[in-house]
Amino acid sequence: MPFPEQIGSTISSAASRTFNFVVVSNRLPVDRVERGDGGAWQHSPGGLVTALEPVMSSNDGAWVGWPGIADRDFESFESDGAWLVPIRLSEQEVAEYYEGFSNDTLWPLYHDVIAQPSYHREWWESYVEVNRRFAEAAASVAAEKATVWVQDYQLQLVPAMLRELRDDLTIGFFNHIPFPAYGIYSQLPWRRQIVEGLLGADVIGFQRNADAGNFARAVRRILGYSAKGTIIEVPETDDEGRARVRTVIARHFPISIDASGYEKLANDPGVQERARQIRHELGDPKFVMLGVDRLDYTKGIGHRIKAFGELLAEGRLSGEDAILVQVASPSRERVETYRQLRDEIELAVGRINGDYSTIGHQAISYLHHSYPREEMVALFLAADVMLVTALRDGMNLVAKEYVASRVDEDGVLVLSEFAGAADELKSALLINPHDIDGLKDAIMTAVRMPKRDRAMRMRALRRRVIEHDVARWSNTFLEVLGRTQPADAPAVATTDE
């Protein structure tokens, strides 16, 4: 198959190196930090990086992604046992492909139209062009019969483009966000092209079984292909023009976290002391409730603030006894919908604090920051009740992080049934976040729950999270993908090997 001769300076420099395992994602596992001496690469602490780093080092792999800075060319380089291939994006492409089509078209559509998606043809054209650039980059560094694993909704066209360039490759795709029901998905003007792009993969992974089912229904409705259970039959023609059928597996692989890493931090005496210090700084209230989210309209932050405010207004909770700590990490601040959301949340927090705070005690401690993992684990240990009230979420790893951190087998998780984590964490208090009265009742159940019941629920939650950690997720996906490889293809070593 043809290889691109050059894609900027990044790919030409790596042309002589090929790899048996290639990851393709929107971002590299490192961030570029500009400094006075010219800048440096800094490790990115994201969950996907944690999941794939051991696999990359076991397989001498390559990672294709954008370095996070527009209009800059960077040479490929080695980092922590992986070969990193930076992809150049222009400022206009960041605005149209990333902020536009990915985050103002696909994101709201795939999250059940909580916010209205925007449809612009120029955004779509940029999405196609950038996806093609990623596909060509991956094709250029993939060895013969290599395995390529494409990540997430920003790159849904890459599997088919990559198959067209290199039909010798084994291709996996994992969708980290929900895949919507057909009635919603059908609104997308480019619904056919996205489905065809995904079907270029040999295995397509989703967070929930329902997401895989939604995708299979879209395939049947749009393309008319056979899609039974987890098997989709894709009709093709071979090089001689003869008809054949290629089998694609579409099923759920719920992602998880590095549970042992959170346990280790939670057992650290310094982190435990910090948890006690946090409660003291908050005024040593009887009940600390915690929300930790990216500032996004899918997270239901406003719903939990409303419920908490009503409990204070009704006297079911006392402003002296209870506090809600809301960590809202900055997110997509150049997108107007997100700027409006921040204003709405901060206005609601201000009103409740004005009504129910005292001189020495805030009703809501609102923190518009990101925090290092050690501080987050201390917060998890300090919180009596964890509120995860997502209106729609592919998984929600914060719920699992809270559970993994509770080595004391205490604390209560209140979890939205619309988060993928609800399929696994059934011992949580499951709620419908749109039902404010039901959410309020769940909060009261949580704060009144006897210690014995809290411990019983938390033990069950912890068993699930520890047994189904992020290594198990990546291993399971790669094992299923490996079964689709030709017998003579190089095997991908999982982290258990």
Of residues 46, 51, 48, 58, the one with CA closest to residue 82: 58
Torsion of CA 164, 165, 170, 174, to 10 degrees: -70
CA distance 102 to 108: 9
Q: Is the dihedral of CA 471, 57, 28, 39 positive or negative?
A: positive
Token pair, residue 454, equals 């809290």
pLDDT, mean of residues 100-112:
97
Q: State how far the Cα of 201 lies from the Cα of 451, in Å rounded to an integer.
A: 48
Q: pLDDT band at 453, cuts 50/70/90?
A: very high
pLDDT in tens, 470-481: 999 999 999 999
Does 1 score more than 50 pLDDT?
no
Res 496: pLDDT: 56
Structure token pair of residue 347: 């206005």
Rounded Cα gap, residues 487 and 18, in angstroms: 20
N- to C-terminal Cα separation, the chain: 32
Ordered DSSP codes for 290-303: EEEEES-GGG-HHH
pLDDT digits (tens, 9 = 90+) for 120-142: 999 999 999 999 999 999 999 99
266/260 Cα distance (integer angstroms): 10
The residue-averaged pLDDT of 309-323 equals 95
Q: Tell me the pLDDT tens digit for each residue of 285-314.
A: 999 999 999 999 999 999 999 999 999 999
Residue 47 has pLDDT above 80, yes or no: no
The answer on pLDDT for 14 being more than 50 is no
Domain-by-domain residue ranges, the chain?
Answer: 8-255+472-482, 259-468
Q: What are the b/e assignments for 2-36, b being 16+ CB within 10 Å?
A: eebeebbebbebbeeebbbbbbbbbbbbbbeeeee
Cα 479–chain centre separation: 21
Under 8 Å between Cβ of 425 and 415: yes
- Contact status, residue 369 vs residue 313, Cβ threshold 8 Å: no
The answer to whether residue 173 scores a pLDDT higher than 50 is: yes
**Of residues 188, 207, 174, 119, the one with CA closest to residue 390:** 207
pTM of the model: 0.93
Q: Is 451 exposed, middle or buried (0-12, 13-18, 19+ CB in 10 A)?
A: exposed
* Inter-helix orientation angle 373-382/259-266, to 10°: 70
168: Cβ contacts below 8 Å, ≥ 6 apart: 1, 144, 145
Q: Within a 13 Å sphere around the CA of 118, how many CA atoms are in the beta-carbon half? A: 15
Overall average pLDDT of the 74-101 stretch: 94
Per-residue pLDDT averaged across 71-98, rounded? Answer: 94
Q: Which fold has domain 259-468?
A: Rossmann fold (3.40.50)
Q: What is the mean pLDDT of residues 6-18?
A: 50
Q: 30-33 and 40-43 as β-strands: parallel, antiparallel, unpaired?
A: antiparallel
* Higher pLDDT pick, 269 / 241: 269
Residue 8 pLDDT? 36
The SS3 call for residue 223 is: helix
The side-by-side arrangement of strands in the sheet containing 62-66 is 77-79, 82-86, 62-66, 19-27, 142-151, 170-174, 203-206, 243-252, 231-237, 226-228
Q: Which CATH superfamily is domain 8-255+472-482 in?
A: Glycogen Phosphorylase B; (3.40.50.2000)
Sign for the CA dihedral angle at 10, 12, 13, 14 comes to: positive
In sequence order, what are the residues at sequence separation of 6 or more whose Cβ sits closer than 8 angstroms to the Cβ of residue 467? none
Domains 8-255+472-482 and 259-468 share a fold: yes
For position 45, what pLDDT does the model report?
66
Structure confidence at residue 60 (pLDDT):
81
User: Under a CB-based contact definition with an 8 Å cutoff, are residues 287 and 385 in contact?
Assistant: yes
Closest alpha carbon to 355 in 392, 311, 387, 292: 311
φ, ψ for residue 388 (rounded to 5)? -115, 100
